[in-house]
Structure 1
Amino acid sequence: MRISQRCKLDTSLDWTAYVSMAVVLSVLTGLILTRIAPDAILMAALTALVITGILTPAEALQGFANPGVMTIATLYVVAAGLKETGAVQWIAHRLLGQPRSLQRAQLRLLIPASVLSAFMNNTTVVAMFIPAVQEWAHRLRFPPSKLLLPLSYAAILGGTCTLIGTSTNLVINGLLQSQMGISLGMFDIAWVGVPVLLAGGTFLLLFANRLLPQRESVIEQVEHAREYSVEVVVEPNGPLIGKTIQEAGLRHMQHGYLAEIQRGERLLTAVSPQTELMAGDILGFIGAPECARELRGVHGVRPANGDVRKLNIAHHRRCLVEAVIGPDFAGLGQTIRESRFRTRFQAVILSISREGRRLPGKLGDIQLRVGDTLLLETDHDFVEQYRYRKDFLLVSALNDSTPPNFKKAPLALVILAAMVGLSAFSILSILEAAFLAAGTMLATRCITVSKARRYIDLQVLVVIAASFALGAAMTKSGAAQAIAELMTSNVTSPWLALAMVYFVTVLFTELITNNAAAVLMFPIAVEVAEQLNVNIMPFAIAIMIAASASFITPLGYQTNLMVYGPGGYRMKDYVANGLPVSLLVGGAALCFIPTVWSFGGY
């Protein structure tokens, strides 16, 4: 009887439902299989829904007025104030300490990373921790590969502990407010988030040391992290001609070593310290990125890359920069020559590191991939110009940019604590508390207006707001109801339905953006709850947790991709560590959610 009813409903669906599902499938295909920017894909879908008449313009643009979206935008400014004042580094340096074992080091890293991610954007937390962890690991003689992936996972898990911990939580809360009149408090989700964090964190402490890669000895792993090959040429008529390697001061470099000399058609390897230098010799050095900076101080050599001389930048304005290629980089899959990198970015690639290892061969013939770490020579303004864009995940100058204003770090932390307190005790709503905190950050000069404006990620905001239109179309057309009936056709247990919603959301999150996955699943979850005549809240909380539980691939969550290059990871490392973490987190969430939010009522 139930199946026949469902079949009758399916045949009664009008064209709007089929068009809505076709638009959603097109969005999923575009996000998974193409490199088109997610905001462009979502806005094209929104346009299609308006032009076909499925949604009115007001319905399609409703997401841009959602409180959750505005809260996310405001919190970008709060996080920017914490970053610019160095508040995160201020906390990290006091908590990381000098542990004597790798497990203790992981514990000291997991605690501050997860706690900070509960109250600020986890991408910002990870971006600030990566260089600190690399330096810390080098000092302690621990491999960074044992610490950076746990850092990303801890940031993700920490974000599930509060309503402001991740944008997904705010998005789902915004949908609950607008559609159900339900508003969650700051720490309501902690009843599930904290057990999930403890479960995932305990697994990392017990098993990450065994599962994470250590492909070389501890010291070698550290020394070869972000290893580059840098070539310089001996200048004709320069002061080094006729001098030996030893006399030229090139024997005992602090950050690298001379691996070979290209002399005409001959390649000299295992070079003796007594080898005399000749005009035009191309010296190949291998070492850390600082090796290139060290060679800049040697009089009589210049970069062997001819493109460096073509840079339209005064010599005193040049600097060395490291940049990690992101998924939105326009030249992915192209060689450096085909991508016209120098013309596009006014920067020259000196060397490339992939998975922690230098790439040999001619630079111009190397195809660029997501996660490649580039050593660039460019203008001082490059860091500020591209730090906030999507071409690169991380951009940092080797001689570092303006240091944070640590004097205002305590003030920024007080502002954050006040925001959390005002919201937690229901004195102000989360949006009002965020507005007040952001305004105070600007008024006290923890961050300037111009910098705050750059920190606001418009692409993320557009993706989230446009995703609301997809959810609205699925609901209005009846497509969400049809899919929910299909999911529950042979399911009578709300526990089983909850598990289905959770794991479908996890699958979507690994394939597309976490916020888009959450918004697409929400109307389906609402219909599933109505079909089973149970409370919507367990399903809403499940989507919150599942949309953040991206551990299996580097592409599912931005923090996973950020540590990909610096940690020298490969895809199998994410699967080996992320799959058990994902299953453990899912099991813990599905056990705790119905005990806090019963299926019977809110």
Structure 2
Amino acid sequence: MTDALSIAALLTQGTVLAVLGTLAFTRIAPDVILMAAMAFLVISGILTPGEALVGFSNPGVMTIATLYVVAAGLKETGAIQWLAHRLLGQPQRLRHAQLRVLLPASGLSAFMNNTTVVAMFIPAVQEWAGRLRLPPSKLLLPLSYAAILGGTCTLIGTSTNLVVNGLLQTEMGIGLSMFSLAWVGVPLVVVGGGFLYLFADRLLPNRQGVLEQLEQAREYAVDVVVDDKGPLVGKTIADAGLRHLSHGYLADIERHGRLLTEVPPETELQAGDILVFIGDPECARELRRIHGLKPASGDVHKLDIAHHHRCLVEAVIGPDFGGLNQTVSESRFRSRYQAVILSISRHGGRLTGKLGDIRFQVGDTLLLETAQDFVDQYRYRKDFLLVSGLHDSTPPDFRKAPVALGILGAMVVASASGLLSILEAALLAGGGMLVTRCVPASKARRYVDLSVLIVIAASFALGAAMTKTGAAAQIAQWLLLSDDLAPWAALALVYLMTVVFTELITNNAAAVLMFPIAVAVAEQLGVNFMPFVIAIMFAASASFMTPLGYQTNLMVLGPGGYRFTDYLRLGTPLSLIVGATAVGLIPLVWGF
């Protein structure tokens, strides 16, 4: 019997290592990896089908699914934009502007999905920074970090908290209330937010002057062709109205294989001239309105979409994009997404050279021409982390923003007062969003990210196998190093291990994998397991050092023109401060 258990434990540990390695070092979709691991555990007999599928009925997972609908109502009504424009104000100094970003971002993300908060704030902050002539690179990363910190204050602030609370309910019969985590979360917001307020300006880049940074934060090269049957043939550049565009300038002309640079305004246009314009994303929309110019990319005409149904979209490549490290041509981008790439920006600057030969990287910002439903289709998929639709045909219905905020407030009050459980309150709030038409049912379905839900639910199978086979107890024994290790030191080790897992794989999967290990550590020390479980909640959210650890970090990579080193420079001290504060406070609230 012991041998059988040992073999099962070894198989489970091997499965966990394989999952970690595959998630960290390959581009296979996380839901595929976790479902494969779950299938192996069932087929090998380690888990029964009922044990393996328990995650799909977990209240935490179902709460996350329901909150997607609540977030959809807030997004579609523009409730966050409505609040953002009222809260951002007109500060005169960068420090005041940072404070105006930190406070609402952390406050809002305590009560709703922080990805939604950041997605709505990015265009608002960019437009606001442009108007105030402030560098967005000083504001967008603090926005992401503030949203992450704010999410730790309540049970619904981040999906990780709901997942771990679901595990506590099913495994231990214990449930946390809405504001249980605020005793530690609020001090973390104060300490972390204070650090960002004092040091973000010094540690974040401003690689050019303020105006140049604003102009180049999302700068593209857009190629158009002079139509041989159009009215521009024979006209000078000045007469054609191409000299004083609002959003870009004519940089070069490619004519019969020769490149003409620094072209004077009296240059006459010839049929077939390829004109290269440099500017922000709106430049492409401006050029589309000029009769006699057509996109240089022949792919645009191959789109099976009527011209009046097309729009311009700016999207950031995510970690699960299928064509990573492939060239644009190799990825068959147009046929896969029914979208044409007009230009690519990387680290805040445009990429030059032949578009088809550029290799995709995580964080690249693409300017696309595509169908109007592209934004809805890919808004919460990890192929792209969408920044904005630049020609959105369905602007938010701001009249319903107060209704959506009222539903959110009612959900928080009902749950916090104990009148309803978190799941019951979320179900009613989701229903309220549909009944009041804050979001149509058809759009609400698109917001529910099945791949994320599958990752979380399938992760439960790994956790169950680690507990059942004794693998978690064995890992806990290795982690403790010695039998007389102090509980505080063990808590710090569990926190550190969770942070490492979070930076390598998804935060929810890290939390589920660490849960049985944390419980086993507490059992071996003979102390209360609650401090260790709470530490997992905070550590799994505290991803500041890489753009890949947390989705909001990746979302600001392109718009802020950041490099990976910027995350290390600001995120490493923030991680240390947040970690030390959390490990110090948690045992004072949940004693050993």
- Shorter-normalised TM-score: what interval? over 0.9
Q: In the TM superposition, what is the alpha-carbon distance from 1:423 to its structure 2 partner?
A: 1.1
* Kept in 2: contact 1:386–1:395 (CA 8 A): no
Q: In the TM superposition, what is the alpha-carbon distance from 1:386 to its structure 2 partner?
A: 2.7
Q: Aligned partners of 2:2 and 2:124: how far apart in 1?
A: 56
Q: Aligned partners of 2:4 and 2:591: how far apart in 1?
A: 34
**Paired position in structure 2 for 1:94:** 86
| 1:156-176 superposed Cα distances (whole Å, 9 cap, x missing partner) | 000000011111111111111
Which of these residues, 488, 494, 505, is aligned with residue 501 of structure 1?
Answer: 494
Q: How is 1:107-122 mapped onto 2 (pairs within 5 angstroms)?
A: 107-122=99-114
* Kept in 1: contact 2:122–2:387 (CA 8 A): no
Q: Aligned partners of 2:372 and 2:17: how far apart in 1?
A: 44
| 1:373-407 superposed Cα distances (whole Å, 9 cap, x missing partner) | 11122222333333343321106331223111111
Q: How is 1:101-500 mapped onto 2 (pairs within 5 angstroms)?
A: 101-394=93-386, 396-490=388-482, 491-500=484-493
1:533 aligns with 2:539: no
Q: In the TM superposition, what is the alpha-carbon distance from 1:98 to its structure 2 partner?
A: 0.4
* Kept in 2: contact 1:110–1:154 (CA 8 A): yes
Q: Aligned partners of 1:541 and 1:514: how far apart in 2?
A: 14
**Paired position in structure 1 for 2:38:** 46
Which AA in structure 1 matches 2:441? V
Q: Aligned partners of 2:171 and 2:69: how far apart in 1?
A: 28
| 1:394-427 superposed Cα distances (whole Å, 9 cap, x missing partner) | 0633122311111111111111111111111111
**Paired position in structure 2 for 1:4:** none
Which AA in structure 2 matches 1:429? S
Which AA in structure 2 matches 1:261? I
| SS of aligned partner of 1:14 | helix
Q: Aligned partners of 1:497 and 1:587: how far apart in 2?
A: 13
| SS of aligned partner of 2:591 | coil
Q: Aligned partners of 1:51 and 1:298: how far apart in 2?
A: 62
Q: In the TM superposition, what is the alpha-carbon distance from 1:261 to its structure 2 partner?
A: 1.3
C-alpha distance 124-45 of structure 1, shift in aligned 2 (>3 A): same
Q: Aligned partners of 1:540 and 1:240: how far apart in 2?
A: 68
Q: In the TM superposition, what is the alpha-carbon distance from 1:439 to its structure 2 partner?
A: 1.3
**Paired position in structure 1 for 2:18:** 26
Q: Aligned partners of 1:314 and 1:75: how far apart in 2?
A: 35
* Kept in 2: contact 1:10–1:482 (CA 8 A): no
1:63 aligns with 2:66: no
Q: Aligned partners of 2:166 and 2:272: how far apart in 1?
A: 65
Which AA in structure 1 matches 2:535? A
- Aligned pairs, number: 591
| SS of aligned partner of 1:369 | coil
| 1:39-85 superposed Cα distances (whole Å, 9 cap, x missing partner) | 11111111111111111111111111111111111111111111111
| 1:310-365 superposed Cα distances (whole Å, 9 cap, x missing partner) | 22333333322222211111111111111111222222211111111110000011
| 1:249-276 superposed Cα distances (whole Å, 9 cap, x missing partner) | 1111110011111122332211111222
| 1:542-569 superposed Cα distances (whole Å, 9 cap, x missing partner) | 0000000000000000010111111111
Which AA in structure 2 matches 1:462? I
Which of these residues, 510, 524, 529, is aligned with residue 517 of structure 1?
Answer: 510
* Kept in 1: contact 2:522–2:528 (CA 8 A): yes
| SS of aligned partner of 1:257 | strand
Q: Aligned partners of 1:239 and 1:441: how far apart in 2?
A: 51
Q: How is 1:547-586 mapped onto 2 (pairs within 5 angstroms)?
A: 547-586=540-579
Q: Aligned partners of 1:217 and 1:375: how far apart in 2?
A: 24
* Kept in 1: contact 2:311–2:372 (CA 8 A): yes
* Kept in 2: contact 1:326–1:392 (CA 8 A): yes
Q: In the TM superposition, what is the alpha-carbon distance from 1:591 to its structure 2 partner?
A: 1.0
Q: Aligned partners of 1:452 and 1:266: how far apart in 2?
A: 51
Q: Aligned partners of 2:313 and 2:2: how far apart in 1?
A: 57
Q: How is 1:4-15 mapped onto 2 (pairs within 5 angstroms)?
A: 14-15=6-7
| SS of aligned partner of 2:177 | coil
Which AA in structure 2 matches 1:34? T
C-alpha distance 537-235 of structure 1, shift in aligned 2 (>3 A): same
Which AA in structure 1 matches 2:23? L
| SS of aligned partner of 1:467 | helix
C-alpha distance 167-388 of structure 1, shift in aligned 2 (>3 A): closer
Q: Aligned partners of 2:430 and 2:305: how far apart in 1?
A: 37
Which of these residues, 586, 590, 593, is aligned with residue 586 of structure 2?
Answer: 593
Query: Which stretch of structure 1 is more off in the superposition, 451-460 or 264-273?
Result: 264-273
Which AA in structure 2 matches 1:190? A
Q: Aligned partners of 2:568 and 2:139: how far apart in 1?
A: 16
Cα RMSD after superposing both structures: 1.5
Which AA in structure 2 matches 1:595? L
Query: Which stretch of structure 1 is more off in the superposition, 231-240 or 145-154?
Result: 231-240
Give unpaired runs (5+ residues) of structure 1.
Answer: 1-8
Q: Aligned partners of 2:493 and 2:545: how far apart in 1?
A: 18
Which AA in structure 2 matches 1:350? L
Q: Aligned partners of 1:484 and 1:216: how far apart in 2?
A: 49
C-alpha distance 429-316 of structure 1, shift in aligned 2 (>3 A): closer
| SS of aligned partner of 2:385 | strand
